[in-house]
Amino acid sequence: MLVLGLIFFSCKLDNGTSNPQTGFFMVANVSPDAPHLNVNVNNSAFDTGLVFGSYTPYVSANAGTYNFAFYPSGSSTPVLTNNVTIDVNKVYSYFVIDSFSKVKSAVVEDVFKAPSGDSVYVRFFNFCPNLTQAIDVKDSANNTSLFSSRTFNDQASNPSFAAFNEIKAGAYTLQLKQIDGTLLSSQSTTLEGGKVYTLFAQGFKGGIGDQALSIGQIINFAQ
C-alpha cells in the first residue's frame, strides 16, 4: 500500500501529455568512481553535480515515458541514456551503478506503507561492483542476520529483493560479510522509527577514501 500523500517531493515533471495522473521517482548516484553528474530528463536539466553517494528527493511526474540522460560535469556527451516509464500512483528509484567505465542503471519500484513509530521498513541492495562472492548483512549489536547471499545488482533478476522488510527501530551495528565469513565493512547506525530506508553496499572492495566499501543509506519516507 503506497502512502503517496506523505512522500517528500520537490516539483512536478510534465512529459508533454495532458494526463493529469502522476507517479514519483528519485535518482541516486552509486557509481563509486563517477565524477559529478548532471542529469537531464526529457532534454531539460533535472539535477546538477550529483555526486557519488547522493540522491535527489522524490519528484512527481505525469504518467508516461521519460528519457534520462547523464553527463559528466562540463561535458556535452551523455555517458548513460535510457527511457523509463512512470506509471500512475507508482514510485521508483533510479540508481546509477557499477564502475564508471561500465556505468549502467538500475530502476526499482518502491512499494511500502508507513511504519509504526517503533518500527522501520528496510531493504538492501548490493551495488559494490568488484565483489566476487555473495555477501550477508548482519547486525552484530543484536546478533541477527538481516539479508543473506546478495550478489551485485541481484534485484534486477529477482524483483522480490526490492521489497521492504519491517524490523524494530533502534541502534544497529551493520556488518557486510562475504559468505565465507570474511568481514568487509562494519558501521553503526540508528534506524529511526516511522521511517523507510534503502541500505546498499557502495564503493569498491579494497577501495580507499570516498571509494571504500561501506553501507549507504537512503531515507525513502519519514513521518
SS (H, E, C) the chain: CCCHHHCCEEEEECCCCCCCCEEEEEEEECCCCCCCEEEEECCEEEEEEECCCCECCEEEEECEEEEEEEEECCCCCCCEEEEEEECCCCEEEEEEECCHHHCEEEEEECCCCCCCCCEEEEEEEECCCCCCCCEEEEECCCCEEEEEEECCCHHHCCHHHHCCEEEECEEEEEEEEECCCCEEEEEEEEECCCEEEEEEEECECCCCHHHECEEEEEEEEEC
pLDDT tens digits along 102-126: 999 999 999 999 999 999 999 999 9
Residue 159, classified by CB atoms within 10 Å of its CB into exposed (0-12), middle (13-18) or buried (19+), is exposed
Mean pLDDT on 41-64: 95
Q: How confident is the model at residue 57 (pLDDT cuts 50, 70, 90)?
A: very high
Q: In CATH, what number does 4-109 get?
A: 2.60.40
Contacts of 3 (CB under 8 A, 6+ apart): 112, 113, 114, 221
In the structure grid, which three cell numbers stand for residue 167, read together? 524490523
pTM of the model: 0.91
Report how far residue 105's alpha carbon sits from residue 84's, in angstroms, rounded to the nearest whole number.
Answer: 10
End-to-end CA distance of the chain: 16
Residue 157 has pLDDT above 70, yes or no: yes
**Confidence at residue 20, expressed as pLDDT on a 0 to 100 scale:** 64
CB 39 within 8 A of CB 15: no
Residue 47 has pLDDT above 60, yes or no: yes
| Domain segments of the chain as ranges | 4-109, 119-222
Region of poorest pLDDT, from 6-10, 18-22, 78-82, 170-174: 6-10
Provide φ and ψ at 154, rounded to 5°.
-70, -15
CA–chain centroid gap for 152, Å, is 13
* pLDDT, the chain, mean: 92
Mean pLDDT on 143-167: 97
CA–chain centroid gap for 23, Å, is 17
The domains spanning 4-109 and 119-222 adopt the same CATH topology:
yes
The CA angle 52-113-66, to the nearest 5 degrees, is 50
β-strand 22-29 against 170-178: which pairing, if any?
unpaired
Residue 19 has pLDDT above 60, yes or no: no
The CA angle 45-203-70, to the nearest 5 degrees, is 15
Mean pLDDT on 32-44: 97
Mean pLDDT on 3-30: 65
Q: Does domain 119-222 have CATH number 1.10.287?
A: no
